[in-house]
Structure 1
Amino acid sequence: MTATSFKPSGWTLLFLLLSAMMILMGGAAVAPALPLISQAFPGASETLISLIITLPALAIALTGFFIGALSDKFGKVPVLVASIAVFTTAGSSGFYLNSIYAILVGRFILGMGIAGITCTTSSLIACYYEGITRARVLGYQAAAMGFGVLILETSGGILAGISWRAAFLIYLIGLVILVGIITSMREPAKPRFEEKERSSDETFPASPLLAAYITLFLGNMLFFLLPTKFPFLLANLDAARVIGENTALASGIFLGISGCASSLIGVMYGRIAWRFRRNTILTFTFVFFGAGLCILGFASSLITVGIGVVFIGIGEGILMPTILTWIASITPKQYLGRASGGFSVALNLGQFASTLAIVPVFVIAGTYRNAFLACGCVAFFFALPYLFAILKEKYGFSGVNPVNSKVEI
């Protein structure tokens, strides 16, 4: 799959974006079915059932950097093809497995597939595209992630309305994407010898990347309260029973609305990055998260629930391309696989930590409403360092804060 002068086509972009749809919600596509799965396995605790959503994230956190290094060494397209195959096979395994522990093993393997998808799609975009086109495509990638929430969560909710097992069939979408990748993508050309010599002094930018990874970890920890705890919050809301006692479909619809908001903001991201500096964008990101979570904590009607999930979707839609462009702008191409592996690790550590962090919060808060309110306040607190950085630059120093430059394209 190697070509010396391959130019990506429209089909290449399409299947890159379809692959990116799996990144954010690949592990959470069956989230609307969680209450039904809990009923099917009454001996399993709620925490154990939640691992169906978060265990893939742990697998990605443990294997993401390693798989990213493999893609640097053996090729990004071959790793992407193998990852999509694993995604499809392991993801759909919950349809026929009868043990909760066997299902969890399948979910861990699914996570390894998502790790490969995350690493390779981000690094392929950085290799295939340059300049303003790259910034635009990274915005499209973030939009595709949000659209994936809309498609996967809504479809998962519809399938969960049939049975909790049927929800796992959503992963068969990987078959279509696999065929498209094989027919439309080729391995990016390797740098010429002279380019390699000029870049021999370049090293992996571990310290600059750490700030991006921490930001992504905190943001995704907040965002992932939606797929893991929102279905339980909605199940306790009387207004959600307007379409029946089974609230799985309603959960899927609202999670899909959140994804739609992420998609719309992703499409507009190029304009946002052009006008605002990075710390300004990140301040608004956590403000949107905080507002959305607090609104859900106070929500008593479906309208307020909708407003809350839209705010959270906007926050995620801003966060993802900001981090991706940040990484692409500071990482030499020969290290993009590893840097993208670190991105997948931070992304999914945040998802996994979300389930663990909510446990003591819920114990103290006592209800899902209060837990969402508490997490909203935490989100506002996370916005403060970026707000202080803006104020420091404006009133304290004449120079530009290196992490507060405009998002480079």
Structure 2
Amino acid sequence: MPSLVSHPDEVKVVSRRFGMGATDIDKYVELDGYKAVQQAIAKGPEWIITEMKASGLRGRGGAGFPTGMKWSFVPKQSEKPKYVLVNGDESEPGTCKDHVLFLHDPHAVIEGTMIAGLAIGSKLGFIYLRGEYRYLLKIVERAVADAYAKGFLGKNIFGTGVDFDIITQTGAGAYEVGEESALMESLEGKRGVPRIKPPFPAVVGLYGGPTVINNAETIANAPHILLMGGEAYAKLGSERNGGTRLFGISGHVERPGVYELPMGYNLKRAIYEVAGGIKDGKKLKAVVPGGSSCPVMTADEIDVGLDFDQMGKAGTMLGSGGIVVLDESVSIVEFALRTIAFYQHESCGWCIPCREGTDWIKKTLTRVYNGGGNKKDVDNVQYLAENMLGRTFCPLGDAAAMPTIAFVKKFRKEFEDYVEGHKAGTPIITVEQLVGAH
């Protein structure tokens, strides 16, 4: 089990049981586990949703949609069964927060799933893990089995007459199934490609029934919110961005790790104080603030709060909380090429703008990086990305386009230097080497 990092500025809510042996159900119960769900059974769906709305909790997968509002969209009456689906398909490069949740506190995800089920009138939940997280599946499956053995899952949970079941599932290593509708297609045993919306999952979701889909971190917050109260949780964060967030800080910092910080915490402080600053005394060049799909920020743009609204005003996104720090030694051209190579490889190929756009950007950037490009190539990369944006069935096209546009706009001189041959000794690199293990 990896060692845990910490910093005095952390506010531990969802991570408060990390390192305390809470994978064991008895220890989890000792640490106030499964109290919130019993409270939820006693007080009912309206109370749950009211508290969730008051908390200001917004989707921790990256979209930032208010959780309580999402749950309230599910119709009270339905001829078909309702479902809760936990999205643990954490495949965004630079993101590793759900990993530590499943590793250290799987029962919080289970309890949160039950709470979501009670809120919408569902009797069945699915916990869907990233395909490469198969070693975590054993931990989650054991936690689910222990909950059944205690009578916390199944028929007549806690002796209350309420039934609730949970099924675990892993993906097949596809980034695309992190998109909610592709995730439902995968769960139904079909190819993981997105659905056209509307209808939206809250009305027509898994197996055609009303479905709530939330990221694992979002779900794991639910028990804590009900125990401490929605208003108290909201006060931990910034305006319209309640609570805390798990941030994975990686790259060229002295203390990489996953830290739980209040929403709205300053990004510059997170890098220089929480993560210890830039490694080996080098200068900061750029920051990818929320996973690879988020537009890059330059070193002079990072004095901004880490919440959905402030990051949006800064021209980027909070995303999935994966802060990637790049020092002065990094080639932005190579970094941009590695990023687009990932998205080209992971595109499901269903829609033409994404399938063709990612491929042409990758080919063009490969030519630029290898020293065979021209000035028109730099313009073409930006043109291709701008014409992908907003024109695809799902957000994967946008996830490829937005960082590409930002790389070119903010570091154009570096791209032009490659074209003009100012980067002496640029190594030749193949697409296969770039994609690597992906």
Which TM-score applies when normalising by structure 2?
0.27
Task: Select the structure that is richer in strand.
Answer: 2
Which TM-score applies when normalising by structure 1?
0.29
Task: Select the structure that is richer in helix.
Answer: 1
Bigger Rg over Cα: 2
